[in-house]
Chains A and B, each alone.
Chain A
């Protein structure tokens, strides 16, 4: 470095898109860093998609592979669908982060490392015999930028007399500042955030701002980087936006449904990853009359929600797969007593405790069939983080109109991943009609609406409609306990028909990309939408006659699904399970659908879908 300060004019390269990942120890604040980068990127006007990836252990031993936490963001000047398959930039705060993430960095990609953390001890902890940064295999394959993040952070804070721990915890701000410079993002949103967050702690506030700026200026002034990038604003529909995760959108959907229906809303929940944030967030809305109940277990959580619905409120329970296992008997009670209820299954890796913080789609058959007896339940699934909002409103609509429990399916990827969301106006929200039975004349607990086959919602407190519901089989119309064989057969079929008939009340499937006839149809459900859309774009570019459709309604299916499938020579169903939707589709439509099934705890990669499709098209 020259001793005299000369202003270096650095080149700005224009890019269409970038995929970057911050990776460090779970105590390094990588999720926060990623979140801040996301906010600033959204404000710049790029389209974006994020993928947080953190360990299940709260604080795994420092520097260990188990403790690596990462946050990936894909941002672009065009429309994008996924957090990206491979990285343009990997920021690795220690050797563990390097080891756990290097395989995702593109050849020629930028590797920014905190060299101060590459000590002998840290290298040894993750089994590096030699410093990998000096290995030819790395230096020739990637552009390595060695930055003394720890030391530079210490220098910036030298005169503040902060504890060593606090200084160490500020170094993520250095990485953030550096990445802001590298991708020409404004620091202001983060500066504002820091000022708000640490308003009562002036020394921490000062430390964060100093280090953030130090990182930015390091990029700008030192010779480490010769150029930086800009990614122009994406062409996005004009309007007001916010960045939103799936769990946030789920909460907003619940609040919106409460406001639209005017019902007493009751959430019965038991903490479980990755669903707990819904409970935390909803409990902040007591002023709207929203009741949240942290029950003693998963069973009490759903039981209280069913009690709320019986009493005329609207019961919801939020959980993940292991919780659904425990709730099964109560879901059946709601099926049998025909009460509105929403069961939110934020799916995670299974079986058993499985992978609490990783994503999977393997609860579909559980939602459909995981109960004793013939127990039909409508199942709907969100396909992107922001889609959780609309899907939740749809779950309410079906539950109330048809007096039935409804499964709302999301997963770890949607729950924690984020995307920009066009904020809807309240007036554009769907109307959901709620009708309590009041008239005594002709009332019986199981007298049915001719069209929907729904039974009346007659709630305690209504004079003259006193009745008892329960898990024992009920006589048609009267609801009295009945062991009559003919009645049971009829009731089993009525309950099945009520749910099957919902197919007449949901939109037909639309081709999302490609034309309605061709060589290959890719059929998906849930959180694979982004990867499938990106893959289809690629396949169309490559000249293939392909198209894709995506299911929100998994029970019942849209009416035209069978007809759509038959317009294509091949059908490919990519899923993060071993082929659960495929099993249903093959059985129901006798179509030789093929699967792409990678159950790695990660979302499907675009290139894997493209490859599977091209193999079928050969």
Chain B
């Protein structure tokens, strides 16, 4: 039997002594707590965790974790995380970002990190608003949204982070919500165990600037009708009494009754084809009238960027081209006597 020498951690080991400065009641507290509860369960030495963030309310996250952390600049956390993980692949790297940081100013890096399958986690706190700059509309704000900078309503079509991640070739895509801590912890654990980019969209309520943005999925009276919780290999069933299901009609999901129904849609997160995950990700977001899908939408294996990077390095080491001395003396040389 292998005796683990891993120290036994508790949540408290991951709590920093910095005062948490989010507004009281912010959804970020629940996410912080969930992360701090999951960390001790991962069997990873505490010093190997690195939390990298950009700018925004969510990006203060690293200060509240008792881990290595880098609070970088607006939109660029993914680039820093790329460097961190590339020189030390043993680290467990977690990127904390928001809808403004990750999809607006950092939109370019988002798709490139994901297409490369960088071996880190991306937790995107989506509150559909700019909080830290006090209430302007964000790339996920709904069309027509009235904010300080859009007094007549936003004329921008919002982006669905899940759709963008899937289009970029994400190997792990999940959605959860701040109020469902148990579900969030399960998703975070699965993300932690995934090799490659693990993208998690977390619906997070900003009660100061965009309260109740996700109430349809958190209010106990309505949430069951508006959310479907995905489980791999299981049918998509929802509703207060598990009476409704999703069925595909061509590419179009439809709501059907469980009773007497034939063939509710069975979730297949491991499908190499991105189509199903894309359809599920759109439900209730880009495709109204349907419940929003929570859980792991897609989970496939592909070599990570770091595996490929070190793989090439190993391959090159099989055919070394010479020492520094030899490199300096290469090319057309001549001797002056």
Residues of A within 8 A of B (CB): 39, 42-43, 45, 189, 233, 236-244, 252, 255-256, 259, 264, 266, 268, 284-287, 289, 291, 293, 295-297, 299-313, 315, 329-330, 333, 337, 423-426, 459-472, 480-481
Q: How far is the CA of A471 from the CA of B101 in the complex (A)?
A: 15
B83 touches A304 (CB 8 A): yes
Verify if B335 is at the interface (C-beta below 8 Å from A). yes
B335 contact set on A, CB distance < 8 A:
238-241
Q: In B90-132, which residues have CB < 8 Å from any A CB?
A: 90-91, 108-109, 112
Q: How far is the CA of A472 from the CA of B63 in the complex (A)?
A: 11
A307 contact set on B, CB distance < 8 A:
52, 70, 79-87
Q: How far is the CA of A330 from the CA of B82 in the complex (A)?
A: 15
Which of A291, A464, A467 is in CB contact (< 8 Å) with B87? A291
Closest to A189 in B: B332
Closest to A234 in B: B336
Least Cβ–Cβ distance between B80 and chain A, in angstroms: 4
Least Cβ–Cβ distance between B135 and chain A, in angstroms: 21
Interface size class of B (residues with CB under 8 A): 35 or more
Which of A45, A296, A312 is the most central at the interface, judged by chain B CB atoms within 10 Å of its CB? A296
Q: Apart from A239-B336, A291-B87, what are 10 other A-B pairs with CB-CB below 8 Å?
A: A238-B337, A266-B87, A287-B313, A307-B82, A308-B84, A310-B70, A460-B68, A460-B88, A466-B68, A467-B69
CB contact under 8 A between A312 and B112, given known A307-B79, A468-B62: no
Q: Count A/B pairs, Cβ under 8 Å.
A: 207
Q: How far is the CA of A333 from the CA of B90 in the complex (A)?
A: 25
A304 touches B82 (CB 8 A): yes
Verify if B319 is at the interface (C-beta below 8 Å from A). yes
A311 contact set on B, CB distance < 8 A:
50, 83-85, 87-88, 91
B152 contact set on A, CB distance < 8 A:
none
B333 touches A423 (CB 8 A): yes
Verify if B47 is at the interface (C-beta below 8 Å from A). yes
CB contact under 8 A between A426 and B325, given known A240-B334, A311-B91: yes
- Binary interface profile of B, 294-328, with partner A (CB < 8 Å = 1, else 0)? 00000000000000010011011101110011011
CB contact under 8 A between A304 and B70, given known A239-B336, A423-B329: no
Least Cβ–Cβ distance between A105 and chain B, in angstroms: 29
Which of B16, B47, B317, B320 is the most central at the interface, judged by chain A CB atoms within 10 Å of its CB? B47
Which of A242, A255, A315 is in CB contact (< 8 Å) with B329? A242
Verify if B145 is at the interface (C-beta below 8 Å from A). no
Q: How far is the CA of A239 from the CA of B16 in the complex (A)?
A: 60
B80 contact set on A, CB distance < 8 A:
303-304, 306-307, 310
A299 touches B327 (CB 8 A): no
B109 touches A300 (CB 8 A): yes
B317 contact set on A, CB distance < 8 A:
286-287
Residues of B within 8 A of A (CB): 16, 18, 45-52, 55, 62-63, 65-73, 76, 78-88, 90-91, 108-109, 112, 309, 312-313, 315-317, 319-321, 324-325, 327-337
Query: Which 6 residue pairs across A and B have the least CB separation, nearest first?
Result: A307-B83, A470-B71, A303-B79, A313-B87, A468-B69, A307-B80
A312 contact set on B, CB distance < 8 A:
87-88
- Can you give 30 A-B contacts (C-beta < 8 A)? A45-B334, A233-B336, A238-B337, A256-B324, A266-B86, A287-B320, A291-B87, A303-B72, A306-B83, A307-B83, A307-B87, A308-B83, A308-B86, A310-B84, A311-B50, A311-B87, A313-B88, A330-B73, A333-B72, A425-B325, A426-B324, A426-B328, A460-B47, A460-B48, A460-B88, A460-B91, A466-B67, A468-B71, A471-B71, A471-B73
Least Cβ–Cβ distance between B324 and chain A, in angstroms: 5
A300 contact set on B, CB distance < 8 A:
76, 78-79, 82, 108-109, 112
Least Cβ–Cβ distance between B52 and chain A, in angstroms: 7
B324 contact set on A, CB distance < 8 A:
255-256, 259, 426
B76 touches A39 (CB 8 A): no
B76 contact set on A, CB distance < 8 A:
299-300, 303, 330
B328 contact set on A, CB distance < 8 A:
252, 256, 423-424, 426
A460 touches B50 (CB 8 A): yes
Interface of A is mostly: mixed
B319 contact set on A, CB distance < 8 A:
287
Least Cβ–Cβ distance between A203 and chain B, in angstroms: 26
CB contact under 8 A between A243 and B327, given known A306-B83, A307-B80, A333-B72: no
Closest to A332 in B: B73
A329 touches B73 (CB 8 A): yes
Closest to A336 in B: B73
Least Cβ–Cβ distance between A39 and chain B, in angstroms: 5
CB contact under 8 A between A461 and B333, given known A256-B328, A296-B112, A304-B80: no
Q: How far is the CA of A425 from the CA of B52 in the complex (A)?
A: 42
Q: How far is the CA of A331 from the CA of B182 in the complex (A)?
A: 41
Closest to B75 in A: A299
CB contact under 8 A between A255 and B47, given known A291-B87, A308-B84, A308-B87: no
B73 contact set on A, CB distance < 8 A:
329-330, 333, 471
B79 contact set on A, CB distance < 8 A:
268, 295, 299-304, 307
A240 touches B333 (CB 8 A): yes
A313 contact set on B, CB distance < 8 A:
83, 86-88
Q: How far is the CA of A155 from the CA of B31 in the complex (A)?
A: 80
A461 contact set on B, CB distance < 8 A:
47-48, 88, 90-91
Q: How far is the CA of A600 from the CA of B296 in the complex (A)?
A: 60
A303 contact set on B, CB distance < 8 A:
72, 76, 78-80, 82-83, 109
A256 contact set on B, CB distance < 8 A:
324, 328
B333 touches A242 (CB 8 A): yes
Which of A238, A243, A266, A469 is in CB contact (< 8 Å) with B336? A238
Q: How far is the CA of A461 from the CA of B87 in the complex (A)?
A: 12
A241 contact set on B, CB distance < 8 A:
333-336
Closest to A259 in B: B324
Least Cβ–Cβ distance between B160 and chain A, in angstroms: 21
A462 contact set on B, CB distance < 8 A:
47
A481 touches B84 (CB 8 A): no
Q: How far is the CA of A155 from the CA of B21 in the complex (A)?
A: 83
Closest to A303 in B: B79
B108 contact set on A, CB distance < 8 A:
296-297, 300
Least Cβ–Cβ distance between A137 and chain B, in angstroms: 41
A45 touches B69 (CB 8 A): no
Closest to B66 in A: A466
B327 touches A252 (CB 8 A): yes
B83 touches A289 (CB 8 A): no
Q: How far is the CA of A239 from the CA of B335 in the complex (A)?
A: 6
B309 touches A291 (CB 8 A): yes
Q: How far is the CA of A460 from the CA of B21 in the complex (A)?
A: 25
Least Cβ–Cβ distance between B164 and chain A, in angstroms: 15
Closest to A429 in B: B324
B52 contact set on A, CB distance < 8 A:
307
Q: How far is the CA of A252 from the CA of B85 in the complex (A)?
A: 26
A472 contact set on B, CB distance < 8 A:
71
A304 contact set on B, CB distance < 8 A:
79-80, 82-83, 86
Least Cβ–Cβ distance between A293 and chain B, in angstroms: 7
A233 contact set on B, CB distance < 8 A:
336
A255 touches B82 (CB 8 A): no
Closest to B320 in A: A287
Which of A45, A286, A308 is in CB contact (< 8 Å) with B316? A286
Q: How far is the CA of A502 from the CA of B95 in the complex (A)?
A: 36
B312 contact set on A, CB distance < 8 A:
286
Closest to B51 in A: A468
A470 contact set on B, CB distance < 8 A:
62-63, 69-72
A42 touches B334 (CB 8 A): yes
Q: How far is the CA of A244 from the CA of B112 in the complex (A)?
A: 36
Closest to B305 in A: A293
A244 contact set on B, CB distance < 8 A:
331
A45 touches B309 (CB 8 A): no
B71 contact set on A, CB distance < 8 A:
468-472
Which of A242, A287, A423, A481 is the most central at the interface, judged by chain B CB atoms within 10 Å of its CB? A287
Least Cβ–Cβ distance between B247 and chain A, in angstroms: 40
